[in-house]
Structure 1
């Protein structure tokens, strides 16, 4: 076995087996090793032959990419999803045997990747039937690329009566099968049907929201809508990921499969990043298109920085995120003014927020306090969510919700799953939302959501 001699591996497995207590039936055994270059996207493509769900994650800085396949353990939660997920995750780590010489590298060792619904109180529809309220996978096999170094992790259950040599052979065979190379074959995807879901009703809902705000009951309500697509063939997920990687700089690229459906996107919005106890969150709200020329682009950016509606929308988010982080962090800091955050099709107002996570809190506590931000829900939170729950024409499912990963080395990162779509064979639903204020114009808000759908629409042949 490359880099890990079989005898050494057998010794590690033997020690893990001997550690199984009499009251335990099995133990999670996790082993990570450094490998030669294995492009995570190619690994994702090749893993299709296993017939198991896959996940993919690339951070916005392009320094970290993760691909996983299968689920050794699935953590699901319905009620009190943050606390329940954290409790199970801690229990798994306490009981696991982890062999990882590279624990200083994020997303190595035991990693759980997943997400959750935007609003568990909103009735679930058929569209999201394959996705749980909260769902995290600890993959069977995983490749991590970090700063051009590559690592491979296998997670497997061992039993007290197992033979170390047999388990070592099994791990070796799994690794060999996992890295069986397959060439990437692009396919020509064409949209043969496009349906805006109830656009007239949606614009009327925007009008209704403005009337509520004029009565001073709510300051801001975020409304989302759906575009349904049908294609000439089944969508090639790796091909879509490659196009997103190539075209959507400064964005998180993600894909999460569940029962064959795939939630996929390129989101610019970080919710929280944690390295040990150092925390980074970002305020991203206020949107404008990119210009066709450099001069036009600068002018649009200047107008965005000085636009009253967009600055108000951004300040809602800044205040909420700062207040949320003060509940779990010390040394919370942020600049006084936002800057521009340019993407391929859009530009946003951007303010970073840093802090130090206080003892006794976890990344799940931070996610709970941050979700939903005013950029995805509105403000005040409960009142805006109540309006969305009653009036929005969409089951958001995982759209707009936290999606990300945590590892056994006290690292993790969650993004807000916007600029995304749910792919189901030869069909897809794309989602986009906008912040509605008291003086919002329904036609302009509809146009904003259309622009926000462009990143996904473009890579799907639109």
Structure 2
């Protein structure tokens, strides 16, 4: 595994030669059903929404980087790998051929490294077409047989929850302090997160979590990279043959389960000056970051309300046309951290997060997704997620965060964080 100095981007160096083969697959089995049972939890990879996307397992190549240059280091490594790859692709679509999965820590000073993983086996599906990709360092690679449907995962057993580094009381105090800083004019918005530790009576199989999340949250991208598992509703950026898109979420209200009441709540969310202000900050930060790479851009004047099973969000879909060869990872780096997960002004908001949050977010709220050799790919924000403990297979740390603006109420923000933890808490349940 390659590891770079914390503050230096690498000089280009000869990359390893990988042999890549992609062929069509004649199967309609769910993508997640192919993830094998006999691999380590951190060896399973996923980016799936509404039955389409890619899953992978095994590790042909991997890479880690740290520090403020973690994105540039990863980009340089990937370009070298792609430049030396020998690829035979009989499908020829975004997501076929050579592909890496990746996840990046939120903060430059995080103890968690950024990770890129090139799986040895990938199964993908787009517009109903399915394919198999195999990757090897062996030039005599022979194509693997069509992967079978794996055995069903076992539930994790009884799960107990305990406070992480930031308890609900700690979180309420941090929100109150943030509101005071906002009133003093230090920032307009800051996003604060908290954690929750879940301990099961048996090993936690990420395949169980992924299937549960995919079944219950079909509007989200269900992901797994190096032990980080979740279902994000927020697409940071997608680059697809010259078209760039981004889904911005900011402004949230909890659902009641009563359809009539939820419709009324959705209407109130769409009129809420506090939530509209928070959303405007997030949309503006995305549009400004993408602008240097785009020849044209469409930013809707007003958001729509995205309905998820547990919460509703104000949402805006930004679309643009690429003006340069910036990869999806380069675009993700230019967007991170957006106002949706950092705040406004971003630099000061991120400093304030470091002062008030009292935990290392790790890869929570950082970019997570995939990229192919042409730079096309999709990167979400790692929300509604948990990090499996590599030293204890029965433990996972869950994360949730809320945007704090003038007028935010500490108790209401604690309640919102509880609502945002529901997807991962429910995914851990046996029933």
Match runs of 1:237-252 below 5 Å = 237-252=206-221
* Residue in structure 1 matched with residue 205 of structure 2 by the alignment: 236
1:408-459 CA-to-partner distances (Å, cap 9, x unmatched) read 2442000000011112311121110111123221111111100110111111
SS for the counterpart of 1:376 is coil
Question: Which of 175, 184, 189 is matched with 1:206 structurally?
Answer: 175
**Runs of 4+ with deviation above 6 angstroms:** 23-26
Whether the aligned pair in 1 keeps the contact of 2:294 and 2:320 (CA below 8 Å) is yes
The reply on whether 1:327 has 2:292 as its aligned counterpart is yes
For normalisation by structure 1, the TM-score amounts to: 0.84
- Classify 1:298/1:180 alpha carbon distance in 2 versus 1 (closer, same or farther; 3 Å): closer
Whether the aligned pair in 1 keeps the contact of 2:200 and 2:395 (CA below 8 Å) is yes
- Classify 1:369/1:295 alpha carbon distance in 2 versus 1 (closer, same or farther; 3 Å): same
CA deviation after TM superposition for structure 1 residue 185, in Å: 4.5
Question: Which of 32, 36, 59 is matched with 1:41 structurally?
Answer: 32
Tell me the C-alpha RMSD between the 2 structures: 2.1
* Residue in structure 1 matched with residue 319 of structure 2 by the alignment: 354
1:117-144 CA-to-partner distances (Å, cap 9, x unmatched) read 000224x2xxxxxx52x21111111111
Where do 5+ consecutive residues of structure 1 fail to align? Answer: 1-22, 125-130, 160-166
Distance 1:447 1:389 in 2: 22
The reply on whether 1:256 has 2:225 as its aligned counterpart is yes
- Classify 1:194/1:36 alpha carbon distance in 2 versus 1 (closer, same or farther; 3 Å): same
Whether the aligned pair in 2 keeps the contact of 1:56 and 1:68 (CA below 8 Å) is yes
* Residue in structure 2 matched with residue 113 of structure 1 by the alignment: 101
Whether the aligned pair in 1 keeps the contact of 2:35 and 2:150 (CA below 8 Å) is no
Distance 1:355 1:24 in 2: 34
1:339-371 CA-to-partner distances (Å, cap 9, x unmatched) read 111111111011111111112422233112211
Whether the aligned pair in 2 keeps the contact of 1:106 and 1:407 (CA below 8 Å) is yes
* Residue in structure 1 matched with residue 61 of structure 2 by the alignment: 73
Distance 2:198 2:94 in 1: 37
SS for the counterpart of 1:430 is strand
Whether the aligned pair in 2 keeps the contact of 1:225 and 1:393 (CA below 8 Å) is no
CA deviation after TM superposition for structure 1 residue 378, in Å: 0.6
Match runs of 1:61-460 below 5 Å = 62=50, 64-79=52-67, 80-103=69-92, 105-122=93-110, 124=111, 131-132=112-113, 134-158=114-138, 167-168=140-141, 171-172=142-143, 175-176=144-145, 179=147, 181-187=149-155, 189-195=157-163, 197-257=166-226, 262-424=227-389, 425-460=393-428
Distance 2:42 2:284 in 1: 42
Higher helix share: 1
Whether the aligned pair in 1 keeps the contact of 2:161 and 2:196 (CA below 8 Å) is no
CA deviation after TM superposition for structure 1 residue 24, in Å: 8.1
Which has the larger displacement, 178-187 or 64-73? 178-187
1:222-262 CA-to-partner distances (Å, cap 9, x unmatched) read 110011111121112211111111101210101123xxxx2
SS for the counterpart of 1:86 is helix
Distance 1:75 1:26 in 2: 12
Where do 5+ consecutive residues of structure 2 fail to align? Answer: 1-12
* Residue in structure 2 matched with residue 128 of structure 1 by the alignment: none
1:315-355 CA-to-partner distances (Å, cap 9, x unmatched) read 10111111111121121111111111111111101111111
- Classify 1:417/1:52 alpha carbon distance in 2 versus 1 (closer, same or farther; 3 Å): closer
For normalisation by structure 2, the TM-score amounts to: 0.90
Distance 1:235 1:433 in 2: 23
